[in-house]
Structure 1
């Protein structure tokens, strides 16, 4: 199976642009923050965007990070199966964030140095069945179960599909319209792979869905959508190849284990090592070690 390649610099997804980089991003992000926290922050609040080299996604910006209200808010979007390893990926991410926003000398001071409170959210809009909200924990990945883990990081996954959307989607107009936009893109892409993105953008403009944003930068949005589609395809191919290699390795290990068990039973019956080797294909040294 041929693997897709990417020879481009980091690119924004529509999600990262709409909530993080566009001229309307501050307003969109504050609306989303208020919906998540039940607050009433206004455009006059102090808001600092933090951008890192990619950790969550290779060659692709699909996350939004802001320092606001004494919190570090990290948002990411998933358009396919939610990755259960997101807590670990966010752990790597937040360490880099703190390195960027904190004075490196602070950690050597005797007094306690306060740091912004981190919060992590993943917005899911894939087509698989998924609950309205789900909490992913870093400790779920630990090899041994701990009642009180000494290191923990939680990620809140929020379903933004309109048919199963969490209440915050309806409380945040930019997020609600973004969800409608994604739904429209998905619909048109299934009908017309070649011109689906263009038709989806036009339908959204006609139906007043992200109209101001799409009218300003429809061409950039279509380029971002193409990049997202290429990236998602590449990840799917890599995952498929990885699973196939894992399956092949598992089958090979299983076959070898069967041979070893067969040889062990033959030795219990006092059959000769040379004969067992011919029957099982194992070396005489391997059989002698049983």
Structure 2
């Protein structure tokens, strides 16, 4: 898909590249789809990759969206912690997906117009203890609860850490190797912050973990990893500080300055102020005054 704004600074995560953008992405995604649905789709099946302006994350494409088998499948990968607000984020996301794939006139027809069935998944690979599988519901966020909510959206969170031994890792080799890759990266980063990514990539190649992919794109992968982990570290620091002494007062002066600089950059690029506030921890008023 041609990018409308050449100044955009979004980057693919390794997950999004492996399952959504790389030349092996179709094969990898079909393997994952078959593991999730117990089907046997092959490479000759009709598959449409759908990519939107990013709204799940502030500066990363961590999501993969496909139209296949009369379904809209939306996948997202989390680097460290589960965000309980993912159902709401997916709600925003899928509404825009439908705008892209459906004829805008269809909703005015008298007859019922069928739409692809949506499915939402998050693949968790962080270090915090988390169940093998969990369902997040949009209705859990409603201020008033009813027995049958008028609007619902569910997200299946799958823990792909090897110690949880989820069966999907046995059924989908690309996802299993990706999990091993993340584990290897984490191990080497703890031993060597400067050369950890490079050593992890080399170990995976030596052990036939995503070997062909990493041999083709080792430098690109390391650049993606550097950006991902820098972003994840920033978010983790902000969460830790805000949890301790409040979101507005919890940022240190240095972190606050960085948040202001980030917000100003996103504002210049035309991002929605509410989204910038959500990603940086600043108030909308502060961002409006930048």
- Give TM class, smaller chain: 0.7 to 0.9
Contact 2:16 2:61 in 1 (8 A): yes
Residue 72 of structure 2 aligns to a residue whose secondary structure is strand
Residue 163 of structure 1 aligns to a residue whose secondary structure is helix
Contact 1:84 1:136 in 2 (8 A): yes
- The alignment yields a C-alpha RMSD, in angstroms, of 1.6
Name 1:260's counterpart in structure 2: none
Listed one character per residue, the Cα deviations across residues 67-86 of structure 1 (whole Å, up to 9, x for unaligned) are 00000000001121100000
| Structure 1 position 248, deviation (Å) | 7.8
- What does 1:205-220 align with in structure 2 at a 5 Å threshold? 205-220=205-220
Name 2:40's counterpart in structure 1: 40
Name 1:228's counterpart in structure 2: 228
- What does 1:52-131 align with in structure 2 at a 5 Å threshold? 52-131=52-131
| Structure 1 position 236, deviation (Å) | 1.8
Contact 1:8 1:59 in 2 (8 A): no
Task: Confirm whether residue 171 of structure 1 aligns to residue 171 of structure 2.
Answer: yes
TM-score under structure 2 length normalisation: 0.81
4+ residue runs of structure 1 moved beyond 4 angstroms?
none
Name 1:145's counterpart in structure 2: 145
Change (3 A) 1:52 1:245: farther
For 2:56 and 2:17, locate their aligned partners in 1 and report how far apart those are by CA, in whole Å: 16
For 1:104 and 1:144, locate their aligned partners in 2 and report how far apart those are by CA, in whole Å: 33
For 1:248 and 1:43, locate their aligned partners in 2 and report how far apart those are by CA, in whole Å: 50
Listed one character per residue, the Cα deviations across residues 8-50 of structure 1 (whole Å, up to 9, x for unaligned) are 7000000000000000000000000000000000000000000
For 1:233 and 1:79, locate their aligned partners in 2 and report how far apart those are by CA, in whole Å: 10
| Structure 1 position 232, deviation (Å) | 0.6
For 2:234 and 2:49, locate their aligned partners in 1 and report how far apart those are by CA, in whole Å: 28
For 2:68 and 2:158, locate their aligned partners in 1 and report how far apart those are by CA, in whole Å: 20
For 1:246 and 1:224, locate their aligned partners in 2 and report how far apart those are by CA, in whole Å: 31
Name 2:28's counterpart in structure 1: 28
